[in-house]
Amino acid sequence: MTNGLRIAILGAGGLGRGMALMLSKRKGFTLVAMADSEGFAYNPAGLSLEALNPNGQIQQLHLIPEFGVKTPTAIADLMVNHGDAIDAVFMALPNLPVDFYANTIQFIAENTAFQGVMVDALKRTKAVELLLPLNDTLAENNILYITGCGATPGFLTTIAAVAAQSFVELEHIDIHFGVGVANWEQYRATIREDFLHLEGFDAERVAAMSDQEIEEELEKRNGLIELVNMEHADDIILELAGICDRSKITVGGLVDTRNAKKPTSTTVTVKGITAQGESTIHKFVVGDATTMVDNVCGPACGFMAKGVELHNYGIVGLRTSAEIMPRFSAEGLVLAASQNMIQPQAVSV
């Protein structure tokens, strides 16, 4: 019997392994499984960082002694065989093609005994849109899926959702991030996804590019990728939460693929109108020493734990990270109890 929530990480790249590190440093989480395209490792007593990185070297999952399984259908095999012994899943898979997440989630919901919480760190609006129709399938299978739980959308979106509470109307929400990675090869999938936002690139073209070709494109840019008006799911997530129309939300950033030091501080700027009709700005500035792992995996941890708490009260289906926060609007809400619609049981906490 393990202590703490039993976590599976799907994906073993930079984010997946970052989450393994984060889980080891937060209280109440036990990493029991991890899967990649070649296999998975499962240990109900917990997979240690030492097992994942013996002697500081990255170990392929299927090669982990005793707990590794080689299989080309690793995610399916892991979730079919052990889904009923997993409390929460962090989706750290690459999302090319863009419907890969939706298909994977539908498979898990319909074909495994998993009845827990899933969170992702998806970035593109389109990717989140493709998940929305899965609400009923997830709910019917007792799964709570929270989308947009990384850095942006996720950490910075939920800061914006809280910041919005001072205002009666939002004028503009801008997220501008600085990211520095010492070596882009540690975050191949993430950097490839950033390329989708550059002029002249799309999913098909990026998927067809070799690592060498990515490297050449980076060389042309001195290792810097400047991203403007990105299609980032912060927009749909804040819109769905009733905060403002997606047209008022902009996301951009500067990624340095050659230096761990951020080329610029990450900021969230929330401009709105007060009850007295004044326009003003709240600003959040992220500490430069935080990495992508800190700002993606830390918040995703928080949403996994929150998700389990909510799931225990029967909250299932698809939610966004901003919908977990205090609500901006009460539109459409009624209190079931005082309308005599339901008679909730007294639950002691």
Residues annotated catalytic, as ranges: 123, 193, 197
For residue 198, report the phi and psi dihedrals to the nearest 5 degrees.
-85, 150
Binding to a copy of itself in span 66-125, by CB under 8 A: 84-88, 114-117
Q: Is 203 in the site for a copy of itself (CB under 8 A)?
A: no
Q: Is 325 in the site for a copy of itself (CB under 8 A)?
A: yes
Q: Is 162 in the site for a copy of itself (CB under 8 A)?
A: yes
Q: How far is CA 166 from CA 81, 224, 275, in A?
A: 48, 36, 8
Considering only 25, 70, 205, 261, the residue that binds a copy of itself (CB under 8 A) is: 25
Binding to a copy of itself in span 282-311, by CB under 8 A: 282-291, 293-295, 297-299, 301-306, 308-311
In contact, 266 and 157? CB cutoff 8 Å: no
Cβ nearer to a copy of itself, comparing 231 with 294: 294
Q: Candidates 47-55, 63-71, 194-202, 312-320 — which segment interacts with a copy of itself by CB under 8 A?
A: 312-320
Q: Is 56 in the site for a copy of itself (CB under 8 A)?
A: no
In contact, 21 and 49? CB cutoff 8 Å: yes
d(C-alpha 203, C-alpha 130), whole Å: 15
SS3 label, residue 317: strand
Binding to a copy of itself in span 216-275, by CB under 8 A: 242, 272, 274-275
Strands 117-120 and 144-147: parallel
For residue 157, report the phi and psi dihedrals to the nearest 5 degrees.
-65, -40
Q: Is 38 in the site for a copy of itself (CB under 8 A)?
A: no
Cβ nearer to a copy of itself, comparing 77 with 294: 294
Considering only 89, 316, 320, 322, the residue that binds a copy of itself (CB under 8 A) is: 316
> Residue 77: which residues within 8 A CB-CB, separation 6 or more?
40, 69, 71
d(C-alpha 272, C-alpha 278), whole Å: 8
Cβ nearer to a copy of itself, comparing 35 with 196: 35
Considering only 22, 89, 118, 179, the residue that binds a copy of itself (CB under 8 A) is: 22
Q: Is 337 in the site for a copy of itself (CB under 8 A)?
A: yes
Considering only 139, 189, 198, 203, the residue that binds a copy of itself (CB under 8 A) is: 139
For tokens 């990105």, name the residue: 230
Q: Candidates 21-29, 61-69, 179-187, 208-216 — which segment interacts with a copy of itself by CB under 8 A?
A: 21-29
- Neighbouring C-alpha atoms within 13 Å toward the C-beta of 257: 24
Cβ nearer to a copy of itself, comparing 29 with 42: 29
Closest approach, Cβ 82 to a copy of itself, in A, equals 11
Closest approach, Cβ 342 to a copy of itself, in A, equals 7
d(C-alpha 146, C-alpha 9), whole Å: 15
Cβ nearer to a copy of itself, comparing 72 with 332: 332
d(C-alpha 137, C-alpha 153), whole Å: 23
Site string for a copy of itself, 177-196 (x = CB under 8 A): --------------------
Listed in sequence order, the DSSP H helices in 27-166 are: 49-52, 74-82, 100-111, 125-131, 135-140, 155-163
Q: Is 152 in the site for a copy of itself (CB under 8 A)?
A: no
Q: Give the angle 299-304-306 at the CA atoms, nearest 5°.
A: 90
d(C-alpha 160, C-alpha 142), whole Å: 30
**How many residues at the interface with a copy of itself, by CB under 8 A?**
102
Q: Is 31 in the site for a copy of itself (CB under 8 A)?
A: no
Considering only 112, 158, 257, 320, the residue that binds a copy of itself (CB under 8 A) is: 158
